[in-house]
Amino acid sequence: MDFLVDVITSGTVRGADAYCTPEEVAEILGTDFVVNRSRRSLTHAYSVAEFSWTRSTPQDPWLGWTFKVVPPEQLLFSSVHAAVSARGFSLQPVPNGWWQPDAAVLIVVDDGRVRGVWAPHQPRPTKEFPSLNKQAVTHLRSATPAERESWLAKRRPTPEDSAEWWRTLLATIRIREQEHHGPAWPWLPLYRWALTHADLPAHERALLLSAAAPAEAVSLCESALPPITTGTTPEAVRSTRIRRALQAALGLPASRR
């Protein structure tokens, strides 16, 4: 159980996280893995974990996407929860399981037992906002700056709903078209406007922009980088995770991470 608790409280598998390159993971976990590869996806399945990467074209480098750990023994969640809490980390209930926010780890629980662990994971908004629908974002795309500000003033969320409201709006914009994101993405001006106004942490806004316009997000990612931290406290784990995610978005080589 100690191994699984280490994963949950660090967001890594023996030091390898979802932002590592395939080579970096191999340096840490070894080369004994099964490869599943296509033009745009790559998976290395180890005995202890499965790491996955993705890329837009065959010419692009592999980018870390996620890893999962399926425990060989179905441990009781109550025991795992107690061990995680003993290390000073909290868990939040989410659909189908529990979430550790500092390490951004999802624990899938079924019938009281841990079925798997995934990272990184950001829970979907749990509250619905009927005003943030397809018609609304279509209108906003063609609206003038003044019309957008007027629309926002009439619908600005309460402080307790603010973060989820903005995440929902941004997600609604991003799924409007299945076009490749980039400078030519027709929804980018609206997406940029929403990010500018979004009541979200700086690192989250930087990562959201980097997913749509990597080159444009460089300065935002650099300014949002937290200081280098050490230790295993929740604060240190969270800071390290954010720093790793931003550095991966910047495309920094391993030696500079």
Identity of the residue numbered 132: L
Determine the pLDDT at residue 178. 59
pLDDT class for 253, splitting at 50, 70, 90? low
Enumerate the β-bridge partners of residue 239.
Answer: none
pLDDT in tens, 150-204: 999 999 899 999 999 999 999 889 887 655 566 667 888 999 999 999 999 999 9
Enumerate the β-bridge partners of residue 44.
Answer: 35, 51
Sign of CA dihedral 228, 232, 234, 240: positive
Enumerate the β-bridge partners of residue 98.
Answer: 93, 107
pLDDT class for 95, splitting at 50, 70, 90? confident
Angle between helices 188-197 and 162-174 (to 10 degrees): 170
pLDDT in tens, 36-54: 999 999 999 999 999 999 9
Determine the pLDDT at residue 21. 93
Rounded distance between C-alpha atoms, residue 98 and residue 12, angstroms: 17
Determine the pLDDT at residue 236. 94
Q: Using alpha carbons, list the distances in angstroms from residue 226 to 25, 202, 221, 235.
A: 24, 10, 10, 11
Question: What's phi and psi for 62, nearest 5 deg?
Answer: -70, 135
Q: Is the pLDDT of residue 32 over 90?
A: yes
Enumerate the β-bridge partners of residue 42.
Answer: 37, 53
Q: Is the pLDDT of residue 254 over 60?
A: no
Top pLDDT among 181 and 2 is at 2
Determine the pLDDT at residue 123. 85
Q: Is the pLDDT of residue 256 over 60?
A: no
Domain ranges of the chain: 2-119, 134-224
Question: What's phi and psi for 81, nearest 5 deg?
Answer: -60, -45
Name which of 19-23, 104-108, 129-133, 237-241 the model is least confident about: 129-133
